[in-house]
Amino acid sequence: MLPGPLLSLPALLGLAAGASIPSNDGFPNPNAQQKLAIAQQAGGLLPNGPPPPSLGASSITAFQLIASNELFETAYFSSLLQNITAGAPGYQAQNKDELTKIFATVLAQEEQHALAAVATLQSVKAFAPSACQYQFPVSNLQDAVNLAETFTAIVLGALQGANVIFAQDGNAGPIQTVSSVIGQEGEQNGYYRVFLNKVPSESPFLTTVPAPFAWSALQMFIVPGSCPFPLSNINLPIFPPLMTNGGPVAAIEPQDQTLSFAADLSGSPAAQPFVNGNGSNLFLTYTTGQQLPISVPITNVKWSGSHISFQAQFPYSENVMQGFSHAALTTSNKFESANAVVNSALAGPAVIQVNNPL
């Protein structure tokens, strides 16, 4: 048994709650003049081609995830920009003017992304999510940029899957638009990585992230109960968080090693048959780059009620797991695709960042 209950996710994160989306520029409902001002700050206008005449159910869900994430990002970068411009403790910087220009531009670009996603949903009369209240586990500039690099890596993985869905639904227009956003977010992450003294281009093939894992990861930033709509309006499951090495994001060295994981499975009916077992039928499944999922046995399994802790090997060398990978606690160890992991997942994603310093 564990010596006591696991810390809650908010306790682990040390969250500052209640951040909101920006509103001083009319966002999220800017008038024509405000839209132009946002575009000028962002460096480009919104797409003005005709919207898709219709969207399949899966495409609608993909755009709802995109919109939700972009709304979160507007709140995040608005908060970061305010801290930089105010010289808040932990956010003072000698290159304040440079950082202010960079993050003011990023904020406006994220507003443009959110406006485009919401407009697409509204054009087909589908539910369009509005902003929640958000919470950010950072208290200084270095950690804030590090977190931005991490959640942008998740976004880059999720947008890959969105394009696959659009292709399957026969929607060519959104593929081009979303592909342009993938490139733009990649430009952002290259800068964040240089800021963090990392090689700017993470790896040759960025890690894919199934939509349910991206949606689950987003929940750690949403103040529970603060969304002005039922989360069930977005047709994606929410998995219990899977902590790695005691926190929501593990930053590790590029080498084979043993990692520690923990999750509260009390809200997962699918997990109950495994509670208090020895873990022999459970696996830790990694997704990295464009490789097929990699499953390893879990060891040193301990239970406290429905809280599980365990260890698993991180097979870096064999799989060259540079940069961002994610993992799930699964009931199977054979998968034909990253999306197939979702069907056997009990908790996740564990977010893992392998350092590649300059």
End-of-domain residue from the set 233, 260, 285: 233
Residue 326 lies in a domain: yes
Q: Is 190 in the same domain as 212? A: yes
Mean pLDDT of the chain: 94
End-of-domain residue from the set 188, 203, 233: 233
54-59 contacts: CB < 8 A, separation 24 or more? 54/124, 55/120, 55/124, 55/126, 55/169, 55/171, 55/174, 56/165, 56/169, 56/171, 57/235, 58/165, 58/168, 58/169, 59/165, 59/166, 59/169, 59/171, 59/174
Of the pLDDT bands very low, low, confident and very high (cuts 50, 70, 90), residue 18 is: low
Whether 309 contacts 302, CB under 8 Å = yes
Residue 121 lies in a domain: yes
How high is the pLDDT of residue 178? Answer: 97
Q: What are 208-238's pLDDT values in tens digits?
A: 999 999 999 999 999 999 999 999 999 999 9
Average the pLDDT over 149-171 and give the result.
97
End-of-domain residue from the set 233, 253, 288: 233
Task: Provide the percentage of residues in the chain whose pLDDT is more than 90.
Answer: 91
Of the pLDDT bands very low, low, confident and very high (cuts 50, 70, 90), residue 162 is: very high
Q: Is 349 in the same domain as 297? A: yes
Angle 96-123/32-42 helices, nearest 10 degrees? 130
Q: Is 58 in the same domain as 193? A: yes
Position 94 pLDDT exceeds 60? yes
Position 135 pLDDT exceeds 50? yes
How high is the pLDDT of residue 356? Answer: 85
Task: Tell me how crowded residue 133 is: count the other CB atoms within 10 A of its CB.
Answer: 18
Position 244 pLDDT exceeds 60? yes
How high is the pLDDT of residue 32? Answer: 96
Residue 4 lies in a domain: no
What are the φ/ψ torsions at residue 231 (nearest 5 degrees)? -60, -25
Distance (Å, whole) CA 162 – CA 183? 14
Instruction: Enter the pTM of the model.
Output: 0.94
Q: Is 221 in the same domain as 85? A: yes
How high is the pLDDT of residue 54? Answer: 93
Whether 306 contacts 266, CB under 8 Å = yes
Position 118 pLDDT exceeds 60? yes
Q: Is 260 in the same domain as 192? A: no
Q: Is 257 in the same domain as 226? A: no
How high is the pLDDT of residue 19? Answer: 83
Q: Is 221 in the same domain as 122? A: yes
Residue 101 lies in a domain: yes
Q: Is 80 in the same domain as 210? A: yes
Q: What is the pairing mode between strands 249-252 and 345-354?
A: parallel
Closest CA to 36 of 125, 136, 149, 112: 112
**Tell me, what amino acid is at 179?**
S
Q: How many structural domains are present in the chain?
A: 2
Q: Is 60 in the same domain as 155? A: yes
Residue 238 lies in a domain: no
Q: What is the pairing mode between strands 283-288 and 134-136?
A: unpaired
Position 48 pLDDT exceeds 60? yes
How high is the pLDDT of residue 4? Answer: 33
Residue ranges making up the domain that contains 258: 243-354
- Segment (H or E) for 63: helix 57-86
Position 15 pLDDT exceeds 70? no
Closest CA to 41 of 101, 130, 125, 118: 101
Residue 3 lies in a domain: no
Token pair, residue 142, equals 């270095």
What radius of gyration do the chain's Cα atoms show? Answer: 20
Residue 1 lies in a domain: no
Q: Is 126 in the same domain as 193? A: yes
Q: What are 185-211's pLDDT values in tens digits?
A: 999 999 999 999 999 999 999 999 999
What are the φ/ψ torsions at residue 136 (nearest 5 degrees)? -125, 125
Residue 79 lies in a domain: yes
Of the pLDDT bands very low, low, confident and very high (cuts 50, 70, 90), residue 1 is: very low
Distance (Å, whole) CA 343 – CA 330? 9
CB proximity list for 113: less than 8 A, separation 6 or greater: 66, 70, 73, 181
Q: Is 204 in the same domain as 93? A: yes
CB proximity list for 122: less than 8 A, separation 6 or greater: 128
Q: Is 21 in the same domain as 45? A: yes
Distance (Å, whole) CA 72 – CA 37? 21
Average the pLDDT over 92-110 and give the result.
97
Closest CA to 141 of 219, 237, 77: 77
Distance (Å, whole) CA 29 – CA 62? 22
| CATH number, domain containing residue 315 | 2.60.40
| CATH number, domain containing residue 65 | 1.20.1260.10
